[in-house]
Amino acid sequence: MTFLTRKSKLEYLLELITKCCTGTAEELAHTLCVSRATLERYLSLLIEDGYKIGFCTQRRTYYLIED
């Protein structure tokens, strides 16, 4: 995978999280065409960049936690 592909997937992931329309981890990994392990690495990268990300079990979506 090229750097630009990874960067675009991270940007798309952040957009989906911002809109609260990700679905479960399995669904989100399928949407991004990556494995679940890769998705978890992507989420870790976003968290390292300072984004606070949570998961709502009722709505089944990832979301950004506001301070």
Structural domain of residue 39, as residue ranges?
Answer: 8-64
pLDDT tens per residue across span 8-48: 999 999 999 999 999 999 999 999 999 999 999 999 999 99
Whether the per-residue pLDDT at 58 is higher than 90: the answer is: yes
CATH of the domain at 16: 1.10.10.10
Residue 40 covered by a domain: yes
Res 1: pLDDT: 64
Q: How many CB atoms lie under 10 A from the CB of residue 38?
A: 15
Name which residue leads in pLDDT, 29 or 1: 29
Residue 1 covered by a domain: no
Name which residue leads in pLDDT, 3 or 5: 5
The count of domains in the chain is 1
Residue 13 covered by a domain: yes
Q: Do residues 15 and 4 lie in contact, with contact meaning Cβ atoms separated by under 8 Å?
A: no
The mean pLDDT value for 45-67 works out to 95
d(CA 3, CA 16): 20
Q: What is the DSSP string of 1-67?
A: --HHHHHHHHHHHHHHHHHT---SHHHHHHHHTS-HHHHHHHHHHHHHTT--EEEETTTTEEEEPP-
